[in-house]
Structure 1
Amino acid sequence: MKDFANDVEAMRWNGTFYKTILSTAETGGAMSIVDSLSPVNSGPPRHIHHAEDEVLMILTGRCLFWMEGEEFIRGPGEVAFIPRGKEHTFRVISDVPCRHLIILTPGGFEGFFADMAQGQFAIPADMPAVVESASRHNLTFTGPPLE
């Protein structure tokens, strides 16, 4: 498994590592790809991406996804497609961390990860800062993480 802890280009926020491997600048805004490693039992609050379609390609581990009231599981070699405008979240349900590629079209949302890593903002303690960055990146939080 990739050693994110020793990768100087990897960002860490809330126990999750993020590394942009194809930037919005490199694609003229068309897309971006972020390599991510999420700890066991982790996952974001429910949210909506208003401007980007999101594909999560699972490399290791398994995730339970929730999208607009429907649940589904994805594991290594499988993908989850989240169309823009759909409320969603996920939680790592395996006993190993989940490494996945986050493919965004168009690109730009990866700037949210950079903001969070730079500020090391906590949810819910630092929600004003989190929400401010989210609004700049066309993201709205809509509810709690999966339990």
Structure 2
Amino acid sequence: MRSELSEGTLVEALRALTCRGEIVVVLCGAAYRNRGVEPLLDAVVDYLPAPLDRPAVCDVCDETRRRSADPAEPFAALVFKVQATSTGRLTYLRVYSGTLSKGDAVLDAAVRRSERIGRILRVQADRRTEVRQAMAGDPAAVPEAA
């Protein structure tokens, strides 16, 4: 007897296999022509681990300390893109632990310099919305003067 899988069951199974590293979901598209971008983003949400599903990460300054994706933990983020714009640089980051708030001073570990956060933006396609804070798991963008 043949039974059909529901879409929800299939998504759950693919997510579990992907999170365990047993399969890789492959999608095709072209950002230039905006083909396949939405299905790609949907697949990221559906199949990849959420920030809270990830194990705690080691502190780069003290490898015996671990940080979980918890807003109460000390702040840690990874910059994954810096974009030059007509108004200055826009730094894209993902908050791994803690909370980033407007006015916070954060350490740029690459250059060992403190940076003050003036604005925090939530970026969706070409829309930028100012927010008061970004918490563990959130992607965000921080503009800085050129």
* TM-score, length-scaled by structure 1: 0.29
Structure of greater relative contact order (alpha carbons < 8 Å, 6+ residues apart): 1
Structure (1/2) with the larger strand percentage: 1
Q: Which has the larger radius of gyration?
A: 2
TM-score with structure 2 length normalisation? Answer: 0.29
